Structure 1
């Protein structure tokens, strides 16, 4: 995982998927696959989706090594458990998708908004398909729900006929294979956040190289995170890409500390109903490219004619 996360830190504006080797036994025996996420709520850093899979007959062994809901474990415990999971390569496989803050914001700011729930569903579906493409014999899937469990389960069942889908609230505490997935996701998120490399150093107020730059857990209520947001905003360019611009927390700070930009409203003029016949008339209005109001207001004319 470390090598993959190093690649992410170098290009942290893009998503990355990191996969383990598929155990031979997982190609032959019916396998259970668990899905969970980490970092859905924070205003800082990526959201990470994780999967873990193993033969259905050995799923309880994950509970025996201590796999539990990652939120109930300390960071040290999670690190140790991930190390154990990664060492069980004879019967356990895993994968994580690290979804960059940049990707989350771009989806939520689209003209046709792609919600965080939809981003989550896309990631979960993509990871199941990834496991299947690697020829893991997935026969059952257990998912911690995003949105109404019944609708999510119906959606996944339609996409993956022949695989038994179970979508449940608190799945990370009910099914060991989901607990294991939650550990993979949380460890990946923590590492991605702690090793983040800033591309915007000219306007970051503290130097990351000196280890003085602190941003905390990334949750809006964290005092360290609040301080980071208050100190590291540029009036024109906003926050560094570590920050999710689409969160209300960052939007409010941008409103109070950012530079107000007023855009000239030409929408009304452009949206006026125009007969298609006018585009074929002899008048020059529609036969030549429309000039921007900037040039019209300043009475600027084209000095040379392009051929």
Structure 2
């Protein structure tokens, strides 16, 4: 599933740079959200006080998200758990992420794009994304760019806030599901109980994840799965 937001909010300023980051690449529950934010120069976003979303409180992330939405073009691509399961039958998670990054960059249509590299080889990841964009763009992929590049920091905030909102909506439907990450005992407890009760994982779980496959085996539901 893709969701594009306000890419036309350009005002009178030329948007030369965009930053892209994702939230939710690794969880066993919920979507991966890839976001991009465009700006005329990096100082514009640095002036808002953006930083890596992981070091901000939820309240601060939400406040910054509101400021970003008002002042800067942004675009979002969402890959649901079901999307990810389908795509993983054809490609790696890194390729899924790279294609989503490219989709966001193409939407914002900036000549320069900064990315948080999702590959041990930064240059290779940058070349991979550039190949999927479909138009000329200088792609700069760096590890921990969400800490060093304000545009990527802003993108990390947008992605995190949107994903957190989706996870909260799941909690309204399913009750407490934890963070959605495999290392979270609350998440594992929820999945274990759901599988025992229903004989299969919930629709919000990534069935292609080893975590779900192991839980299915442990609860004797392998044939049903």
TM over 0.5: yes
Structure 1 partner of 2:8:
22
Q: Find the residue that maps to 2:111 and give its secondary structure.
A: strand
Structure 2 partner of 1:241:
203
- Gap runs ≥5 in structure 2: none
How far is 1:60 from its partner? 1.1
For residues 38-77 of structure 1, the C-alpha deviation after alignment (integer angstroms, 9 at most, x for no partner) is 0111111101000000112xx2121121100011111111
How far is 1:128 from its partner? 1.5
CA contact (8 A) 2:99 2:129 kept: no
Q: What count of residue pairs does the alignment treat as equivalent?
A: 222
CA contact (8 A) 2:112 2:139 kept: yes
How far is 1:154 from its partner? 2.2
How far is 1:160 from its partner? 5.7
Structure 2 partner of 1:124:
101
1:160–1:103 distance in 2 versus 1, CA, 3 Å: closer
For residues 99-131 of structure 1, the C-alpha deviation after alignment (integer angstroms, 9 at most, x for no partner) is 1001111122x2xx3111111011011112222
How far is 1:259 from its partner? 3.0
Q: Find the residue that maps to 1:225 and give its secondary structure.
A: helix
**Which structure: larger Rg?**
1
CA contact (8 A) 1:141 1:166 kept: yes
Higher relative contact order (CA 8 A, sep 6+): 2
Hey, what's the Cα distance between the residues in 1 that align with 2:80 and 2:50?
Answer: 26
Structure 1 partner of 2:84:
104
Hey, what's the Cα distance between the residues in 2 that align with 1:126 and 1:225?
Answer: 30
Structure 1 partner of 2:65:
82
Hey, what's the Cα distance between the residues in 1 that align with 2:122 and 2:53?
Answer: 21
1:260–1:24 distance in 2 versus 1, CA, 3 Å: closer
Hey, what's the Cα distance between the residues in 1 that align with 2:15 and 2:47?
Answer: 20
Q: Find the residue that maps to 1:142 and give its secondary structure.
A: strand
For residues 191-232 of structure 1, the C-alpha deviation after alignment (integer angstroms, 9 at most, x for no partner) is 1111138xxxxxxxxxx56xx710011111112112101111
- Gap runs ≥5 in structure 1: 1-14, 133-137, 198-207, 263-307
CA contact (8 A) 2:177 2:190 kept: yes
Alpha-carbon RMSD: 2.2
- Scaled by the length of structure 1, the TM-score of the pair is 0.67
Structure 2 partner of 1:196:
170
Does 1:231 find its partner at 2:193? yes
CA contact (8 A) 2:17 2:40 kept: yes
For residues 260-291 of structure 1, the C-alpha deviation after alignment (integer angstroms, 9 at most, x for no partner) is 439xxxxxxxxxxxxxxxxxxxxxxxxxxxxx
How far is 1:157 from its partner? 4.1
